[in-house]
């Protein structure tokens, strides 16, 4: 065992009465890829901030290259070769790639006057280190997420860097971009740079990291080699709960379909798609990012009305030209990006729940019946076990899982027949994901027809009875969930 590059021993940290970290130990060696995992609020970011000097620990010490520190300043951390790449990449969207790359070192050297030639040289050197090709004069705001990340990595490498901490680096990246990122991480490992990878995504932890540390409510629950870890253990460490995989088995299937799509198409996105959905059934639709799955979802809810074919509900042909039409036919939609499309984040939890049924709560002159309103809110907070001390709090105070429950509550309050869910558990932690799936199963058994659109294959296989695979705008396969597995679905997708 070689000496560790960074060691944190017995770290305690509390914020106004909340114990964020309790006796946490952590260590990483040169050239090691280490994954720090934990659900929201487990203390991951607090630990990172202590290592990078943003917070001072209440007790415990940090050892770097054999030197002990009871507290460390951000500058000391940088001088010791620690670089943090935050989720927002700390970039300036309004400035060019060149300036984004060169600013840090110019500032570190205390320069007052700008020399554009020198900035260009610095920037060229920085991107050459990871073989990243980009127009130095392009504005960073116009680049893709992956390119922005490469800029952040190039910038982090400009100092005598020994450890790079990446906070949830794969959020918002496509599969190909994730692959590219992992290749770069492996290259950095070769030159002896340690990578601390913060994530709550299971497959990433397995794929890239050698060692892991898992935190739960501020405490270290497990650490060791990734090869000793499996799905079950990982979920257990993360949540403290045992999950028994529950395959969805449809009960109470209706005779006739509640919802049918007949040869529907939307020019440029998808064409000739037909399927039927019965009450009590959950259909899964999957495909790659550009397969047209998202557009199909939007068309069903009338956001992008179809240009060919027709929908029928309960055997009757219907026009769905707008979300209002869809709602009138008791069809609801849970969007992919609940933050911008599904919720009023700054409004109260209560108002978010009742927003879509507000017409029914109105008394005569259009005034909302307060007693009825309260009744409805209490009912849904309880039924979906939304964890909040007060339903008048803003929606943004909730975790991802609880926010998703509110989106569900909003729709269930409308007495739906059909619910379309696009990526229902994106960015939701394991525990909540499990609970949300449970809710979906229950809804189906109560007689709703559900359509889940997702590229999370385990989710599709576990929760759907019928799976439609899309590729380049068409359905290429219709599979029964109990007769297929992830591998064969994937082969149809690609």
Partner 1 sequence: MKTTTPISLKKLAGRNEPYIFLVLFALCLLIEFRSGQFFSSNNLVDIASALIVPGLFAIGAFLVIISGGIDVSFPALASLSVYATTKYLLDIQYEGGIWLPIVIALAIGALLGAFNGLFIGYFRLPALIVTLGSSSVFKGIMQGALNSKQLTIIPVGMRTWGTTALFTARNPVSGLTSRMPVAFIVFLIVLGFVFFLMRYTMFGRSIYAIGGSETSAHRAGFNVIRTKVVLYIMVGMIASLAGVIRVCMMQQAHPTNMLGMEMNIIAGVVLGGTAITGGRGTLLGCMLGTLLIVIVENSLILLGIPTSWKSVFTGALIIIGTGISAYQVILMNRIKKTKHSVKEAA
C-beta separation of 461 from 484 below 8 A: yes
Q: How far is CA 371 from the centre of its chain?
A: 37
CB-based burial of residue 444 (10 Å sphere; 0-12 exposed, 13-18 middle, 19+ buried)? buried
For position 159 contacting partner 1 by CB under 8 A, the verdict is no
Edge-to-edge strands, sheet with 418-422: 331-334, 418-422, 449-453, 282-287, 466-471, 474-480
Stretch that binds partner 1, among 103-111, 279-287, 417-425, 480-488 (CB under 8 A): 103-111
257/423 with CB nearer partner 1: 423
C-beta separation of 381 from 332 below 8 A: no
Stretch that binds partner 1, among 26-34, 91-99, 315-323, 438-446 (CB under 8 A): 91-99
For position 271 contacting partner 1 by CB under 8 A, the verdict is no
Q: Cβ 121 to partner 1, closest distance in Å?
A: 11
294/348 with CB nearer partner 1: 294
Count residues contacting partner 1 (CB under 8 A)? Answer: 26
Query: In this structure, are strands 163-167 and 82-85 parallel, antiparallel, or unpaired?
Result: parallel
Burial pattern 374-383, b for ≥16 Cβ within 10 A else e, equals eebbeebbee
For position 116 contacting partner 1 by CB under 8 A, the verdict is yes
Q: Cβ 390 to partner 1, closest distance in Å?
A: 27
Q: Which of 39, 106, 336, 376 binds partner 1 (CB under 8 A)?
A: 106
Residues in contact with 118: Cβ distance below 8 Å, sequence separation at least 6, in sequence order: 102
Residue with structure tokens 């933050």? Answer: 339
C-beta separation of 24 from 215 below 8 A: yes
For position 476 contacting partner 1 by CB under 8 A, the verdict is no
Count of beta carbons in the 10 Å neighbourhood of residue 425: 23
For position 88 contacting partner 1 by CB under 8 A, the verdict is yes
For position 124 contacting partner 1 by CB under 8 A, the verdict is no
Q: Which of 12, 61, 69, 86 binds partner 1 (CB under 8 A)?
A: 86
Phi, psi torsion values for 362, nearest 5 degrees: -75, 140
Q: Which of 12, 41, 58, 120 binds partner 1 (CB under 8 A)?
A: 120
Q: Cβ 212 to partner 1, closest distance in Å?
A: 27
By CB under 8 A, the residues from 358 to 397 that bind partner 1 are none
For position 1 contacting partner 1 by CB under 8 A, the verdict is no
DSSP 205-231: HHHH-SEEEEEETTEEEEEEEGGG--H
Q: Which of 45, 46, 104, 352 binds partner 1 (CB under 8 A)?
A: 104
Stretch that binds partner 1, among 97-105, 255-263, 277-285, 474-482 (CB under 8 A): 97-105
For position 137 contacting partner 1 by CB under 8 A, the verdict is yes
Q: Cβ 405 to partner 1, closest distance in Å?
A: 30
Residues in contact with 142: Cβ distance below 8 Å, sequence separation at least 6, in sequence order: none
Q: Which of 289, 355, 476, 490 binds partner 1 (CB under 8 A)?
A: 289
CB-based burial of residue 262 (10 Å sphere; 0-12 exposed, 13-18 middle, 19+ buried)? middle
178/313 with CB nearer partner 1: 178
Which residues form the interface with partner 1 (CB under 8 A)?
Answer: 86, 88, 90-95, 99, 103-104, 106-108, 111-114, 116-117, 120, 137, 142, 144, 289-290
């Amino acid at each position: 065992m070689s000496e560790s590059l960074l060691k944190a021993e017995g770290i305690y940290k509390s914020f106004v009465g909340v114990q964020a970290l309790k006796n946490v130990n952590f260590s990483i060696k040169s050239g090691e890829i280490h994954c720090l995992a934990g659900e929201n609020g487990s203390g991951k970011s607090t630990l990172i901030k202590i290592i990078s000097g943003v917070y001072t620990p209440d007790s415990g010490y940090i050892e770097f290259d054999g030197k002990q520190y009871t507290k460390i300043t951000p500058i000391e951390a940088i001088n010791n070769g620690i670089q943090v790449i935050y989720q927002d990449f700390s970039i300036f969207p309004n400035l060019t790639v060149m300036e984004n790359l060169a600013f840090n070192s110019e500032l570190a050297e205390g320069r007052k006057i700008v020399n554009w030639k020198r900035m260009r040289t610095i920037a060229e050197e920085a991107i050459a280190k990871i073989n990243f090709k980009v127009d130095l004069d392009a504005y960073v705001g116009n680049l893709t997420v992956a390119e922005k990340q490469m800029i952040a990595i190039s910038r982090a490498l400009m100092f005598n860097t020994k450890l790079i901490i990446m906070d949830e680096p794969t959020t918002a990246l496509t599969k190909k971009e994730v692959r590219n990122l992992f290749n770069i991480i492996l290259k950095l490992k070769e030159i002896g740079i340690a990578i601390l990878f913060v994530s709550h995504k299971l497959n990433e932890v397995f794929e890239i990291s050698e060692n892991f540390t898992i935190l739960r409510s501020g405490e270290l629950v497990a650490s060791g080699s990734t090869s000793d870890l499996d799905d079950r253990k990982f979920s257990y460490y993360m949540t403290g709960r045992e999950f028994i995989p529950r395959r969805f088995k449809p009960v109470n299937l209706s005779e006739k379909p509640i919802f049918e799509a007949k040869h529907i198409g939307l020019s440029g996105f998808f064409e000739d798609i037909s399927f039927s959905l019965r009450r009590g059934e959950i259909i899964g639709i999957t495909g790659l990012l550009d397969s047209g799955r998202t557009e199909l979802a939007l068309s069903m809810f009338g956001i992008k009305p179809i240009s060919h074919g027709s929908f029928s509900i309960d055997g009757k042909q219907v026009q769905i030209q707008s979300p209002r039409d869809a709602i009138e036919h008791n069809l609801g939609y849970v969007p992919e990006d609940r933050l911008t499309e599904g919720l009023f984040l700054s409004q109260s939890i209560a108002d978010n729940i009742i927003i879509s049924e507000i017409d029914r709560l109105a008394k005569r002159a259009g005034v909302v019946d307060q007693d009825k309103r309260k009744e409805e809110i209490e009912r849904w907070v309880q039924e979906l076990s939304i964890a909040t001390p007060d339903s008048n709090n803003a929606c943004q105070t909730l975790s991802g899982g609880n926010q998703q429950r509110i989106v569900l509550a909003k729709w269930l309050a409308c007495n739906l027949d059909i619910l379309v869910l696009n990526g229902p558990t994106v960015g939701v932690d394991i525990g909540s994901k499990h609970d949300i799936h449970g809710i979906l199963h229950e809804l189906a058994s109560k007689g709703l027809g559900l359509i889940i659109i997702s590229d999370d294959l385990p989710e599709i296989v576990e929760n759907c009875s019928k799976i439609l695979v899309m590729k380049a705008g068409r359905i290429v396969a219709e599979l029964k969930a109990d007769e297929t597995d992830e591998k064969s679905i994937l082969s149809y997708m690609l």
